[in-house]
Amino acid sequence: MSEAKVFETGVILSITTRLAPKGGIEAIREILLFMTREKHLNELELIDAAKPCKESLLKQLPWTEDVEPEGVGPENYDEWLGKMEQLYGKSHSVTPLEEGVFKGSGIDYGFIIIGPA
């Protein structure tokens, strides 16, 4: 059995509803990296990883299927998230995708400094 990691409800719902969490892209990157078991995901791979991760989250946390973000925007996101946390809790354990479900490029796009800085 895969080791689970706890994520905040807002981060989980960012994958299932496409509403960005308060942590922005870095919070999204963190859950997708964990779920895909990848060390690096570039922006295009984040998009590719979101679909299988969403499907997995809907199975792991069936209540996420009932969450409808219709009418939610920057002006009422905090209120909406507060209601979701009251209904479903502030955080949940998530397990990674099964091996082989997602395969990233494995390319590290970090910069390598050559010569004096």
CA 52 to CA 100: how far, in whole Å?
A: 11
Cα angle, residue 73 at apex, residues 72 and 75 outer, rounded to 5°: 115
Q: In this structure, are strands 91-94 and 5-8 parallel, antiparallel, or unpaired? A: antiparallel
Within a domain: residue 65?
Answer: yes
- Asked if 27 and 11 touch (Cβ cutoff 8 Å), the reply is yes
pLDDT (tens place) for every residue of the chain, 117 residues total: 569 999 999 999 999 999 988 888 899 999 999 999 988 888 888 889 999 999 999 999 999 999 999 999 999 999 999 999 999 999 999 999 998 878 766 555 554 545 554
Within a domain: residue 108?
Answer: no
User: Which residue reads 């990883």 in tokens?
Assistant: 49
Number of domains composing the chain: 1
Within a domain: residue 100?
Answer: no
Within a domain: residue 79?
Answer: yes
Within a domain: residue 84?
Answer: yes
Within a domain: residue 113?
Answer: no
Range(s) of the domain holding residue 17: 5-94
CA 9 to CA 13: how far, in whole Å?
A: 6
Q: What global pTM score does this model have?
A: 0.84
Within a domain: residue 106?
Answer: no
